[in-house]
Structure 1
Amino acid sequence: MKPISSRLYGLDTLRALAILLVFANHYVNFVTRRPTLGFVGEIGWAGVDLFFALSGYLIGNQIFAGMRRDAFSLPRFYARRLLRTLPNYYVVLALYAFWPVFSAGAHHAPWWQYLTFTLNFDLRPGTLFSHSWSLCVEEQFYMVLPAVALLAGAVRGAWRLRLAWALIAAGFVAGMLMRAHAWDDVRPPPGGNGTFYREIYYATLCRFDELLAGVALALMKNCHAGLWTRLTAWGNTTLALGVLLVGCAFRLFLADHFGRSETIFGYPLLALGFGLLVLSALSPGSLLHRVRVPGAASIAVWSYAIYLIHKQLCIVLARELTPLGLDPNMPAGVALLLAASILAGWVLYALVETPFMWLRERYVPADRGEKKPAAEAAGLRGAGS
């Protein structure tokens, strides 16, 4: 690992925030089934969307930077992506499949769907390892994105960038139209239902707004250097605007998570807010970029492993510890289960992810001999590249 001074503090902070939000949401929905953590637990599902925005930028930047240097390799991209995601994922999947204590007899989908990252297709809430739906959306998106980028890059002249931006804009519009169509078919009740989750919340074509926002930032950085320099000079302004827009989106979703307008327009609003936060994190003068939050870098590095294992681990531990007098609704119970999740994530990172990352860097370089700047490489390792 690079020295900590080479890391991008802002990206670390956002990624640590994302995993803590997800933890809070899963905790209140699957461990205590009570509003133990208040509105943070209720809105914590948006941590996944923050992960999407971060990954969209980091993976998009990898693709566009390589193309700009004429050094991007599609086979290497796919190989590096799979070496990053598969080892941890398959180890945790094996726990669900072969350790009865971990699975607790819950319903599972056909195993081929887990193995092929297609679980989110017609996924029923409550299915074993259901939170891997977000990994499915990411993997599907990143199987398509580089091929689309290369096709757009084949266009000559000024039309190349126009086409790229047109595709991003069309993606946002298409997402809204598909959610509108799906909502009109589902018409969920005020409290939502399983069909809403199957047809909208888990559906790839309805849930890539934040990924597109991150890709748009990467395109701007690599193809509009002057605009990027001007925007990153206003880091604290974009931080304030990002917080404001995310706050507005949270208020909409907390008022009615399953409403038609919220479903259609809430996710693009959240994408814009999170995109501005990522932009602020990359702006040298912003507080988000400059302030190092203690522990955030480590949690950011371990966040993928924590995401995979924390939910079921907390369910199992809460069941075992409650008879011993440890109430998961109390602060001590929350702290213990959070600490156990972080520790388990670290173990998974150290024993599984780290060796495969060494193999990836040793045998599958990102492109034809080019090296990333140290800070960018550190940010990529900590954000799911």
Structure 2
Amino acid sequence: MNRSSRVHGLDTLRALAIMLVFANHYMSFVSHEATFGWFSRIGWAGVDLFFALSGYLIGNQIFAGLRDDSAAGFSLWRFYARRLLRTVPAYYFVLALYAFWPYWAGDLPHAPWWKYLTFTLNLDLKPGTLFSHAWSLCVEEQFYLLLPPVALAIGAVAASRRALALALGWGALAAAVAAGMWLRADWWQPSMDLGARGSQRYYTLIYYSTLARFDELLAGVALAMLRNFHPALWQHLTRHGNAMLASGAALTALAFWLLLEAHFSWSMSVFGYPLLGLAFAMLLLAALSEGSLLARTRIPGMGAIALWSYSIYLTHKQLCILLAEHVEPDQPASIALMIAASIVAGWLLYFAVETPFMWLRERFIPSNYKRRPHETAVGSLAAAP
């Protein structure tokens, strides 16, 4: 993979996302205290940042393919084949560790194995289940399954009437956001709000739910629609990248503060995730604005962490749980050891499993996405967890 083609701002956001997730998992499953302070307590939002990144990346690939008149047509087969080769091999490799290596799996109860294999683990998932953090991968795979045919169906209904197709597309997106908010409002119960801890029912019914957790993915899709179908507005927004960065950072800070105060309340359950989606969309806009500080700043190490983030996500939680049996998890040296071990494990999985299958993908399955010369390179970005 050519690292020079990567987008520094998006790499920074992707690396930040896995750092947030690591901090939260370290608190929840290893040290059982806020080792990294508020960063640990809000770290679950790293998954939502991954969702926003994936929504933009996948949406951009689909919409760019659909609007490319020189292409033979958008191929669902090629899209799904490339997605499967990108996400499934590393996931199945780690799943095999849980299934066939008792030491790695520990003594946690597992869900039916067919749910892991079919990316439906998040449906009726109970906290404390083996490999439970794969719930976010399930939401993303279901999103990858649904978005292309919906986009194609809208295009087919509108046929050559582009204005109608765009109206239907934006209407469908707004309806999906509204439906998620309505479902969370309907499913929420006072017994779910346990202050700093939500009830198990909150996680099973709302937090892990596909229908209730599309908000940030849809925010990324909205950005992809702006880029591909409203170029004048896109150029106007990206000319003000630093303003987007300042606004996105301020809105993210507000969302984090509100969610730290009352994550499991009715109001934050209904409105908190769309607020995060909007905040992260503004940060993505800044990352994609060539003149912004976020886009221009290449932070050493962030590109590598971003590149290995999917494999780090798959392995870090269980690895740290096992290492914690042999060290004091609240000691600085132990924390440094587990961070280093997580990075090394992610690097190994990336090069041993992800890289060969990505080579096969590039060698045998043409992409639907044909980048135009003036567009920022995004094709090298990995699908996020």
TM-score normalised per structure 1:
0.95
* Structure 1: distance between partners of 2:185 and 2:293: 38
User: Which residue of 2 is the match for residue 44 of structure 1?
Assistant: 43
Task: Determine if the alignment matches structure 1 residue 269 to structure 2 residue 275.
Answer: yes
Q: By how many angstroms is 1:311 displaced? A: 0.2
2:232: which partner in 1?
A: 226
Checking the alignment, whether the CA contact within 8 Å between 1:306 and 1:342 is kept in structure 2 is yes
Please list, as runs of the form range in 1=range in 2, the aligned pairs for 1:247-286 lying within 5 A after superposition. 247-286=253-292
In structure 1, the partner of 2:381 is 381
SS of the residue 1:302 aligns to = helix
Measured in 1, the distance between the counterparts of 2:189 and 2:291 equals 45
SS at match of 2:194: coil
Tell me how far 1:182 sits from its aligned partner. Answer: 0.9
User: Aligned equivalents of 2:146 and 2:39: distance in 1?
Assistant: 33
Q: Distance in 1 between matches of 2:300 and 2:225?
A: 31
Q: When the two structures are aligned, how many residues end up with a matched partner?
A: 378
Equivalent position amino acid for 1:103 in 2: A
Check the 8 A contact 1:235/1:284 in 2, yes or no: yes
Percent identity, please.
61
SS in 2 for 1:204: coil
Contact 1:300 1:383 in 2 (8 A): no
Do the aligned partners of residues 352 and 252 (structure 1) sit closer, same or farther apart at CA in structure 2, a change above 3 Å counting? same
Match of 2:174 in 1: 169
Report the CA distance between 1:108 and its aligned residue.
0.3
Q: For each residue in 1:278-313, what CA deviation from the matched residue of structure 2 results, as whole angstroms up to 9, or x when unmatched?
A: 010000110000000101111111000000000000
Instruction: For 1:44 and 1:379, locate their aligned partners in 2 and report how far apart those are by CA, in whole Å.
Output: 27
- 1:172-222 residue CA offsets vs partner (Å, 9 max, x unmatched): 111110100110486433331100000000000000100000000000000
CA displacement at 1:227 relative to structure 2: 0.5
CA distance in 1, matches of 2:302, 2:379: 12
Secondary structure of residue in 2 paired with 1:132: helix
> Within 2, Cα distance between the matches of 1:32 and 1:96?
22
> Structure 1 residues 374, 105: closer, same or farther in 2, change over 3 A?
farther
8 Å contact 1:50–1:210 — kept in the other structure? yes
SS at match of 2:110: coil
What residue number does 2:106 align with? 104
Q: Is the 8 A contact 2:62 2:368 kept in 1?
A: no
The aligned counterpart of 1:311 is 317
CA distance in 2, matches of 1:165, 1:268: 16
Between 34-43 and 89-98, report the one with greater CA deviation.
34-43
Separation in structure 1 between the aligned mates of residue 130 and residue 373 of structure 2, nearest angstrom: 40
The runs of 5 or more residues in structure 1 that have no matched partner are none
Counterparts of 1:364 and 1:59, CA distance in 2: 16
Which stretch shifts more, 157-166 or 370-379?
Answer: 370-379
AA matched with 1:113: K
How far apart are the structure 2 equivalents of 1:280 and 1:292?
A: 14
Rounded Cα–Cα distance in structure 2 between residues aligned with 1:215 and 1:33: 36
1:15 matches 2:14: yes
1:90 aligns with 2:89: no
- What's the TM-score, normalizing by structure 2? 0.95
| Residue of structure 1 in register with 2:365 after alignment | 364
Give the whole-Å Cα distance in 2 for the aligned partners of 1:378 and 1:212: 18
Aligned AA (1:27): Y
For 1:61 and 1:55, the matched residues in 2 are separated by: 10
Structure-1 separation of matches of 2:121 and 2:22? 21
- Equivalent in the alignment of 2:67: 68
Q: CA deviation at 1:335?
A: 1.2
CA deviation after TM superposition for structure 1 residue 153, in Å? 1.1
Structure 1 position 180 matched with structure 2 position 185 = yes
TM-superposition CA deviations, 1:226-273 (whole Å, max 9, x none): 000000000000101111111111111110111000100011000000
Give the corresponding residue for 2:131. 129
Does the C-alpha gap of structure 1 residues 376 and 114 become closer, same or farther in structure 2, counting only changes over 3 Å? farther
Kept in 1: contact 2:258–2:268 (CA 8 A): yes
Q: Secondary structure at the match of 1:381?
A: coil
Worse-matched range after superposition: 204-213 or 147-156: 147-156
Rate the CA distance shift 1:378–1:62 in 2: closer, same or farther, 3 A. closer
Amino acid at match of 1:75: W
Shift of residue 376, structure 1, vs aligned partner: 5.0
The residue that corresponds to 1:193 in the other structure is: 199
Q: Which residue of 1 aligns with 2:349?
A: 348
For residues 114 and 185 of structure 1, the distance between their equivalents in structure 2, rounded to whole angstroms, comes to 31
Distance 1:6 1:188 in 2: 45
Q: Does 1:338 align with 2:344?
A: no
- Structure 2: gaps (5+ residues): none
1:212 aligns with 2:211: no
